[in-house]
Amino acid sequence: MASHATPPTTSTTPHGLYTVLVLLMLLTLAGCAGRELATHDPAPGEGLSMERALILSTAERALGTPYRFGGTTPSGLDCSGLVALAYRAAGIPVPRTADDQFRELPTLDEARPGDLLFFDTAGRGKASHVGIYRGNGQMIHAPGRGRRVESTPLSIAYWEERFLGAAGPAP
């Protein structure tokens, strides 16, 4: 009696499809990760333009101001209202919301003091928060309800993970 060996059969298994799907998800998530924040602080003696000095001076005077949604005055500010106040002091008009500022202002590869930093804090893929780069790895921003305008280190993982980009309408 002769026995016939049956060759093993190969079939497309769900395991192979699962592996491909996992790899695609990882690639997608990697694309959603925050961009690297590059900064340039002026060297001693290099100085800042008059506009940048006015932006920073106004933002620094706003430190401690209470957060107020939609606020654009020294009695209460939200993040984009702080930007509008500081840039208005330097004679530079900017759009009202963080996302409009992010989409409409000239983008930068490297932020200098006085430039704007944008973040996706809502997880919607658009700018929902903005701060003003202060220099030395710090930003001035209006963080949210119940808080006050403050200076915050950018090295905090929360900000690094949500960073979208920088814009620089100031000369």
Question: pLDDT per residue over 51-85, tens digit each?
Answer: 999 999 999 999 999 999 999 999 999 999 999 99
CATH topology of domain 49-167: endopeptidase fold (from Nostoc punctiforme) (3.90.1720)
pLDDT value of residue 17:
46
pLDDT band at 28 (very low <50, low <70, confident <90, very high): very low
Q: Is the pTM of this model over 0.85?
A: no
What's the token pair of residue 12? 């497309």
pLDDT value of residue 37:
85
Q: How far apart are CA 158 and CA 131, in angstroms?
A: 14
Q: Is the pLDDT of residue 2 over 70?
A: no
* pLDDT (tens digit per residue) in 117-167: 999 999 999 999 999 999 999 999 999 999 999 999 999 999 999 999 999
pLDDT value of residue 40:
86
pLDDT value of residue 14:
55
Active site positions, annotated: 79, 129, 141
pLDDT value of residue 32:
43
pLDDT value of residue 15:
53
Q: Is the pLDDT of residue 93 over 80?
A: yes
